[in-house]
Amino acid sequence: MHDHINDPYVKQAQRDGYRARAAYKLKEIDEQDKLIKSGMVVVDLGATPGSWSQVVREKLVKSGEINGRIVALDMLEMDPIAGVDFILGDFREDAVLDELARMLGGASVDLVLSDMAPNLSGIPSVDAARIDHVCELALDFAATHLQPNGALLIKAFHGAGFDAMVKRFRETFKVVHTRKPKASRDKSAEVYLLGRGLK
């Protein structure tokens, strides 16, 4: 708790109006990889509290108008963000996917983002399986919904299943990168996987 309160990114997020320090992870990766571009259709999986959707919105706003679409999904409620469509529910369920399809109106997705993390138990083998499951859900979703040149960015963790997840990314995407933004705590095993261009 002490680390969190004194975290410079937490303080910066409060100053900049972001809902979570995670905003700076996406901002840094986007600066390096130029992921978010005007006119894109972006889906933010596990979006609550919404800091990644806030960053995407900033990038898509031009002359006060959003040029593109942002759809955020989560099983937890999210306070509204102007110009961001929100679906409350589990994206594995047909009803939620139907709602997403209706919102997109036939448009394919340019970028899928996932900063999702499961509830961790502290038991390494159990947690590794949970983390892998969440990553696979995002990867399966992206493989189904992305346009051919689209991209997927997910949070993963160095651990038992990490190499297998990288292998799956390489089987799915033409280009795969691993990113560890400065806002990601040094002692954290978290790392981000970026896949671009479906095979």
Give the pLDDT confidence score for residue 142 in this predicted structure.
96
Known binding residue 197? Answer is no
7 inside domain? no
Please give the average per-residue pLDDT across 110-116, as a whole number.
97
Boundaries of domain holding 108: 22-198
Question: 155-180, pLDDT tens digit by residue?
Answer: 999 888 899 999 999 999 999 999 99
2 inside domain? no
Check pLDDT > 90 for residue 187: no
Contact 65, 91 (CB under 8 A): no
Please give the average per-residue pLDDT across 63-79, as a whole number.
95
15 inside domain? no
DSSP secondary structure letter of residue 108: P
Contact 190, 156 (CB under 8 A): yes
Q: Of all residues in the chain, what percent carry a pLDDT higher than 90?
A: 79
| Residue 3 pLDDT class (50, 70, 90 cuts) | low
Q: Per the residue annotation, which of 25, 27, 59, 155 is the catalytic one?
A: 155
Check pLDDT > 90 for residue 122: no
1 inside domain? no
Residue 59 is among the residues annotated as catalytic for this protein: no
| Residue 174 vs residue 62, higher pLDDT | 174
Handedness of CA 34, 40, 13, 186 (dihedral sign): negative
Query: Number of structural domains, the chain?
Result: 1
51 inside domain? yes
8 inside domain? no
88 inside domain? yes
Q: Of all residues in the chain, what percent carry a pLDDT higher than 70?
A: 97
Known binding residue 74? Answer is yes
Check pLDDT > 90 for residue 143: yes
- We report the CATH number of the domain holding residue 105 as 3.40.50.150
Place of tokens 């394919």: 108
11 inside domain? no
What is the helix, strand, coil percentage profile of the chain, to 5?
40, 25, 35
Please give the average per-residue pLDDT across 15-19, as a whole number.
96
Known binding residue 50? Answer is yes
Check pLDDT > 70 for residue 62: yes
Over the chain, what is the mean pLDDT? 93
Known binding residue 52? Answer is yes
